[in-house]
């Protein structure tokens, strides 16, 4: 995942912003978005998308450590793949899916996550 790319900017992040209240109603406290951009780009991405500390965190992973740990890179150099994970309050993972096509937004999208909550 990279900020401002067409898939992320148009199809991945906006539904999480738009459906954040629905996610909260189902028990979600925080939506953490991890991308391989630096913190400055992530900050700008948040401003462009009008994210203001409302439970959506945009986090930088410039070395893609998190995705590499789970073998969820995008396959295009040091880029995070597009994936979603639900971590419960007790630390267990109740949902974890990675897009097979790094351009797709199916199993990692807000609707897919909502359907599993």
CA distance 3 to 13: 9
The residues near 90 (Cβ < 8 Å, ≥ 6 apart) are none
Q: Is 43 a catalytic residue?
A: no
E strand or H helix that includes residue 111: helix 110-116
Active-site entry in 1, 3, 8, 51 = 8
Q: How close are the terminal C-alpha atoms of the chain, in Å? A: 23
| Catalytic sites, residue numbers | 8
């Amino acid at each position: 995942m990279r900020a401002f790319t067409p898939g992320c900017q148009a199809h991945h992040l906006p539904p999480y912003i738009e459906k954040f209240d629905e996610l909260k109603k189902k028990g979600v406290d925080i939506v953490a978005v991890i991308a391989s951009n630096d913190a400055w780009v992530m900050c700008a991405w948040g401003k462009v998308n009008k994210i203001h500390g409302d439970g959506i965190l945009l986090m930088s992973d410039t070395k893609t450590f998190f995705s590499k740990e789970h073998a969820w890179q995008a396959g295009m150099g040091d880029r995070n793949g597009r994936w979603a994970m639900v971590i419960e309050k007790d630390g267990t993972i109740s949902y974890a899916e990675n897009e097979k096509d790094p351009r797709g937004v199916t199993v990692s999208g807000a609707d897919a996550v909502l359907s599993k909550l």
